[in-house]
């Protein structure tokens, strides 16, 4: 089943985000390689492609997991969680209708 992982960044976490970004992207790439990723990306803090020092407010990942518990286990091992970038994560089942 698909799950939406909706993460909110901790205050003042931009430097931590930048420091572990490549590790996080490598982990998300594994979902791509396994054909499990639908979409992933950050939420800019301002209405701009590159928010600069304004940073980000969180991220969204929609991917296939065996269960909500498996999705939780996966995200809790992500560098953005282990290094304190994400302050909270909501996991919801997701049913793709379009495209």
Mention every residue, 6+ apart, whose C-beta is less than 8 A from residue 19.
83
pLDDT tens, position by position, 70-95: 999 999 999 999 999 999 999 999 99
With a pLDDT cut of 70, the percent of the chain lying above it is 100
Q: With a threshold of 0.75, does the pTM exceed it? A: yes
| DSSP secondary structure, 2-58, as one string | EEEEEEEEPTT-HHHHHHHHHHHHHHHHHHHHTT-EEEEEEEESSSSSS-GGG-EEE
Give backbone dihedrals phi and psi of 34, rounded to 5 degrees, phi first.
-90, 5
pLDDT tens, position by position, 4-33: 999 999 999 999 999 999 999 999 999 999
Distance CA 13, CA 19 (A): 10
pLDDT of residue 64: 98
Distance CA 25, CA 59 (A): 12
Q: Is 94 helix (H, G, I), strand (E, B) or coil?
A: strand
């Amino acid at each position: 089943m698909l799950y939406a992982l909706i993460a909110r960044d901790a205050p003042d976490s931009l430097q931590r985000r930048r420091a572990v970004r490549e590790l996080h992207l490598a982990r998300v790439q594994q979902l791509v390689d396994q054909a499990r990723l639908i979409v992933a990306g950050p939420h800019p803090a301002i209405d701009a492609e590159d928010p600069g020092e304004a940073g980000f407010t969180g991220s969204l990942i929609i991917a296939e997991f065996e269960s909500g518990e498996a999705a939780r286990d996966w995200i809790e091992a992500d560098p953005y969680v282990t290094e304190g970038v994400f302050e909270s994560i909501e996991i919801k089942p997701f049913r793709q209708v379009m495209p």
